[in-house]
Structure formats: C-alpha cells, structure tokens
C-alpha cells in the first residue's frame, strides 16, 4: 500500500508545476489576444495580477471538476476496503509502524515529486 501511495503522490506533485505554467500561458494568451511575445515572458505572469487571479480561478474550477468523479469511487471503494485492509492484514503490534510508513510515503512522494518537477 505504501509504494502505490508513494507513486501517486510523486506523480501528483510532478505534474503540478507543469499544469500551473500551462494555465498561466493559456490565460495570458486568452486575455491578451494571442500575443505570443508578451506571453512567452514567464516573469511577466508574476507581475500581472489579472493573470494571477484568472489562473487561480481556473485552477480552482479545474480542481473541482477533477475531484467530482473521484468522489463516487472513493465512497464506494473506500468504505469497503480501507478499514478492512488496514485492520485485517496488519497485526496489532505493527499498526503504528504501518501508519508511519503510509505517512512517510505521502510526504516523501510529495517532496521528491516537487523537487524533480523542474520548479525554481
């Protein structure tokens, strides 16, 4: 369970900066009528508050749209498997170690994913 969770967090954090830059570029192109010379200047995104606001709004909406389908599968599969798996497959003396491993996989996957994503 730890390795798939680690890989999920790694890929989630790996794609975020790429998605963020894509949002900035698309919002800039839409706002400034496809002016490629302006929108290729990455440092201009941080100075332009309207691009920041539009990109954040777009990211919020895309997050909601991407979460909605997963809610149904999480409710159906999560209730049936998560508690049973953790309780039935791990002895009582090793449950805290197992939870620590899961927490470590989340943190390490996120850290390595963000560090290798090419951010500044």
Answer whether residue 87 shows pLDDT above 70: no
Q: How many CA atoms lie within 13 A of 85 on its CB side?
A: 10
Q: Do the domain assignments include residue 57?
A: yes
Mean pLDDT of 76-95: 70
Q: Do the domain assignments include residue 20?
A: yes
Reported as type and span, the H/E element at residue 16 is helix 2-31
Mean pLDDT of the chain: 81
Helix axis angle for 95-115 and 2-31, nearest 10°, is 30
Cα angle at 12 between 28 and 115, to 5 degrees? 85
Count up the domains in the chain and report the number. Answer: 1
Q: Do the domain assignments include residue 62?
A: yes
- Structural domain range at position 12: 2-67+95-115
Q: Do the domain assignments include residue 74?
A: no
Q: Do the domain assignments include residue 107?
A: yes
Each residue of 39-62: pLDDT tens digit? Answer: 777 777 778 888 889 988 998 998
């Amino acid at each position: 369970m730890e390795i798939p969770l680690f890989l999920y967090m790694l890929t989630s954090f790996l794609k975020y900066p790429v998605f963020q830059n894509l949002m900035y570029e698309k919002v800039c192109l839409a706002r400034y009528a496809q002016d490629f010379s302006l929108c290729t200047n990455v440092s201009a995104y941080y100075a332009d508050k309207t691009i920041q606001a539009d990109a954040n709004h777009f990211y919020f909406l895309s997050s909601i749209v991407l979460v909605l389908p997963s809610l149904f599968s999480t409710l159906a599969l999560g209730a049936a498997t998560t508690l049973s798996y953790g309780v039935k497959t791990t002895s009582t003396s090793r449950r805290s170690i197992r939870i620590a491993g899961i927490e470590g996989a989340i943190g390490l996957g996120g850290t390595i994913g963000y560090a290798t994503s090419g951010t500044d």
